[in-house]
Structure 1
Amino acid sequence: MHTPPVPLKTRLLNTPDVELWPGGLLRARGNADARILARARRVLRRKRDGRYLAAELPEGLMPLIPGLPREPGIEAALDRLDHDGGGRGPWRGEAGELPLDALRDHLHALGLDDSYGERTSLPLVAEPDTLAFAGFDRYRRALWLTHAAARAWLGLRDAAAREGVVLEAISGYRSHDYQLGIFERKLARGQTVEEILSVNAAPGYSEHHSGRALDIGAPDEPPAEESFEHTAAFAWLVANAGAFGFSLSYPRDNPHGIVYEPWHWCFAADVAADAD
């Protein structure tokens, strides 16, 4: 597998309820936010709704909401901040996985149990506890992948560029909470769980949770459309992605019953050791 020689240093520290973002990658939502984010080493962000909870500044931790000590999951996030030095030290190898207990509770609340995975042949996917910054996606959002997947993606993208083919990342890692939010919004609009499942994987069953999957697009092409298969970018991926450890997850007539997704590619975790 081809990988870029430069180690990836910027990373996201992940906990069940709170993400710890490196400074400089989150968008300010006002002048006060902009001043704080400009100085922040880390920003603690609630996964459920993206709310900024606190900023780690050179002089210490600054709460950004009232009642920060009562925020669910804040103790685990602060412990992670202390234990990992804010994620500024050397990379310590491949990420671990977060527990699935809370996710199972959410699935049961939706009326879903293990039979969903058995019916679709989809495994339950844990979130990594650490993710690497792999540049920005089409929409200038930070793209997070596991360290090995990030290096493979950058190698894949750069190899395509050398042959005159532009590959754009559309999205990478998504949390369980992100997927739950999709279900909650659609349920609020009157859709049933079964209707939502016809187009969205159940929370916890999307490859995007693993940090190894990403949706890929091409310039001037709409995102996540079957028409992507007619682009030079898709043809290049079919011919070359395997050399970088990526494969098409959902071809036509796949056994999971998921619609054909020529844009969705996943990195095989065991292709190469994650070491710098």
Structure 2
Amino acid sequence: MRTASHLLLNTPEIEIWPGGLLRARSNHDARALSRARHVLRRKRDGQYLAADLPEGLLALVPRLRREDGIEAALVLLDHLAEPHRSGIDAIGELPLDRLQDRLHALGLDDGYGERSGLPLVAEPAALTLAGFDRYRRPLWLLSPAARAWRSLHAAALHDGVVLEAISGYRSHDYQLGIFERKLARGQTVQDILTVNAAPGYSEHHSGRALDIGTPDEPPAEESFERTPAFAWLRDNAAAYGFVMSYPRDNPHGIVYEPWHWAWHRA
């Protein structure tokens, strides 16, 4: 049984985070987050929506009740408050709704998956805290992938190799945001698709994949392959269920990514 204090619970529009993990820019929000048992967070932009305090729910945005998906999130929050539901056992996947809208927003048609050879990837209904990444952000993975990452990290450290997580789980909405930010900087959709899969098709959605780096090495650069960390992963990662997803000349049209590894053990 996993306790809710170590889980991110997912709904299509809103995530429910355990308290104590999020940081805010304003003093008002920071005080609320520091006391919160759980925090409701909007997926599309990371906005904090409400803090679940011991004395009740504190809205952090105006018109909280008008937020998309808020009712489903509040039902799940109430579920967590039931004494006999302090642990969460049921794990599933979120529906692949709004996928066409995301693709069409980027000018992509429904044949993208067939052309790229990439499968659709649903978001898990719950993810486990697997530690923190290079930037001290919480790292979320599926529970067995989180255990495998911790074992991999410890084994590397035992051999004198430091591995750093750069990023783990990403929602469909977050992936769309990556495209929107790069488009705003002048990149084309086709250029972005050589580095990032379209929303709904990234392995990061699954909670099985993470980008890995090592200290003093820039993140997500091909130069990672020349580090002792990459050499160690190449020789040892498979023993822990991790596979490099995008080798050179992969059939998906994605550039060589020696930093991107996914857990595939059943």
Taking structure 2 as the reference length, the TM-score comes to: 0.93
- State the percentage of identical aligned residues: 73
Cα distance in 2 for residues equivalent to 1:205 and 1:222:
25
- Stretch deviating more after TM superposition (20-29 or 178-187): 178-187
One-letter code aligned to 1:255: P
Cα distance in 2 for residues equivalent to 1:222 and 1:186:
19
Q: How many residues align?
A: 264
Q: Are residues 1:226 and 2:213 paired?
A: no
Task: Name the SS of the counterpart of 1:132 in structure 2.
Answer: strand
Q: Are residues 1:262 and 2:258 paired?
A: yes
Contact 2:130–2:146, Cα closer than 8 Å, also in 1: yes
- For residues 1-276 of structure 1, the aligned pairs below 5 Å read 10-85=6-81, 89-92=86-89, 95-268=91-264, 271-272=265-266
Cα distance in 1 for residues equivalent to 2:239 and 2:191:
37
One-letter code aligned to 1:35: R
- Residues 191-229 of structure 1: per-residue CA shift (max 9 Å, x gap): 432233233211111101111000001111111111111
Contact 2:39–2:50, Cα closer than 8 Å, also in 1: yes
One-letter code aligned to 2:148: A
- Residues 161-199 of structure 1: per-residue CA shift (max 9 Å, x gap): 111111100100011111111222233444432233233
- Alignment RMSD, CA only? 1.9
Task: Name the SS of the counterpart of 2:113 in structure 1.
Answer: helix
Task: Name the SS of the counterpart of 2:89 in structure 1.
Answer: coil
Cα distance in 2 for residues equivalent to 1:27 and 1:176:
23
Structure 1 residues 22 and 184, CA gap change in structure 2 (3 angstroms): same
1:3 aligned residue? none
Moved over 4 A (4+): 6-9
Structure 1 residues 19 and 86, CA gap change in structure 2 (3 angstroms): farther
Contact 2:168–2:207, Cα closer than 8 Å, also in 1: yes
Cα distance in 1 for residues equivalent to 2:155 and 2:88:
25
Contact 2:8–2:17, Cα closer than 8 Å, also in 1: yes
Cα distance in 1 for residues equivalent to 2:198 and 2:232:
31
User: Alpha-carbon deviation of 1:86?
Assistant: 8.5
- Residues 127-162 of structure 1: per-residue CA shift (max 9 Å, x gap): 111010011100101100011100100010001111
User: Alpha-carbon deviation of 1:91?
Assistant: 4.1
Task: Name the SS of the counterpart of 1:114 in structure 2.
Answer: coil
Contact 1:213–1:267, Cα closer than 8 Å, also in 2: yes
Structure 1 residue ranges without an equivalent (≥5): 1-5
One-letter code aligned to 2:105: A
Structure 1 residues 236 and 192, CA gap change in structure 2 (3 angstroms): closer
Taking structure 1 as the reference length, the TM-score comes to: 0.90
User: Alpha-carbon deviation of 1:7?
Assistant: 6.9
Contact 1:42–1:86, Cα closer than 8 Å, also in 2: no
Task: Name the SS of the counterpart of 1:43 in structure 2.
Answer: strand
Contact 2:129–2:139, Cα closer than 8 Å, also in 1: yes
User: Alpha-carbon deviation of 1:243?
Assistant: 1.0
One-letter code aligned to 1:63: A
